[in-house]
Copies of this chain bind each other. A is one copy, B any other.
Amino acid sequence: VSRADHSPAPAGESAVAVLGLGLIGGSLLRKLTDVGLPAVGYARDPRTRTAAREVGLEVSDDIDGALAGRQIAVVAVPLPAVPTLFDATVGWGGLVTDVTSVKGPVAALARARGLRYVGGHPMAGTEQSGFAASDTALFVGANWVLTLDDDTGLDDWLALARIVLRTGARVVATTSAEHDRAVAANSHLPHVVAAALSTAAGENPLALSLAAGSFRDATRVAATRAELTAAMCGGNADALRERIDDLIARLAAARDVLDDDALTAFFEEGRRVRAAWPPTAGGERSIPIADPDLRSALLAAGRVGAPIIRADADRLTLADAA
């Protein structure tokens, strides 16, 4: 018996189908069920469906059964599996979102199928994966990007934001292009660098043997499965290419001042940024949902990294950085 069977949908809240029950999808279905939102899951592997039912979740044996009568579908599978799941939602008519780490290419997949789509990217994860690692606390305090492109319906965006806020996450509004540039800088580029640093040190056994904390941390993500990293970085090739070129220019500039007082300034600039990270929460402010410029106000907030932390009936509350 699933808990969801006994939780009536709160007025105005959408019923959610979570397609894919790995770490992200499993954690989402558990959390939505916990907070009393009507939610059903689907996983391709029957063992995962059994495991999910065993912890009291409502699970469908097929995708159509999961979608029927629901308003929102969360496609919670890795990028290579997204097209197949998107295909399965064609003609259903509800709102589709995803949880992958690139947004422009996925928006193009949705557009090509004529889906009602809002791109999503929860900035949460662990080294683990699979339903067994799922955790209702995974999203608490995490940023969850929802893309707001020119062709995104604002009502769809708001409906999804209300669902995401129920997980404990904070919602960041941004365009697909701005998202992809940001994750190229803060995630995909560090993955490329980690691999290059690791391979370079690998040619020098003494370097590997003497390596300590700075090497350990700089290369940690190089231990990720190569297929996953390649899919993630290759999926964001255009934005990542620009970030690699930018980094090469910065490294070349550092190389030219190694004998110089300017080297301290180079390190001081990095120190200043890193010491101020992560940004601490500053004041809160709210935006009326009736604001005729709501779309641009949301995007402006996202651009300075201010997430939405609460949605009331008539207004959204944002947290500015300090």
Contact = CB atoms under 8 A, between A and B. Distances in A.
Contact of A258 (B223, B240, B302): B240
A255 B270 contact: no
A194 B197 CA distance: 11
A204 B182 contact: yes
A223 B275 contact: yes
Given A172-B210, A273-B201, A251 B193 contact: yes
A101 to B, nearest CB: 10
The main secondary structure of chain A at its interface with chain B is: helix
Interface in A164-178: 172, 174, 178
A269 interface: yes
Contacts of A274: 194, 198, 219-220, 222-223
Interface stretch (A28-36, A37-45, A303-311): A303-311
B225 A271 contact: yes
A296 interface: no
Interface in A158-198: 172, 174, 178-179, 181-183, 185-187, 189-198
A207 interface: yes
Contact of A244 (B223, B229, B243, B254): B254
Contacts of A247: 196-197, 200, 251
A46 B4 CA distance: 70
Given A208-B305, A209-B307, A255-B241, A215 B199 contact: no
A264 interface: yes
Interface string A266-298: 111111111101110000000000000000000
Contacts of A227: 264
A221 interface: yes
A235 to B, nearest CB: 10
Given A210-B182, A210-B183, A270-B198, A264 B217 contact: no
Contacts of A250: 196, 199-200
Residue of A186, A225, A241 ringed by the most chain B CB atoms within 10 A: A186
14 contacts: A182-B207, A183-B207, A190-B197, A193-B193, A197-B247, A198-B271, A199-B273, A200-B247, A209-B305, A215-B277, A223-B271, A227-B264, A237-B259, A248-B251
Pairs of residues from A and B, 6 with the lowest C-beta to C-beta distance, nearest first? A209-B305, A195-B270, A202-B273, A226-B267, A190-B218, A226-B268
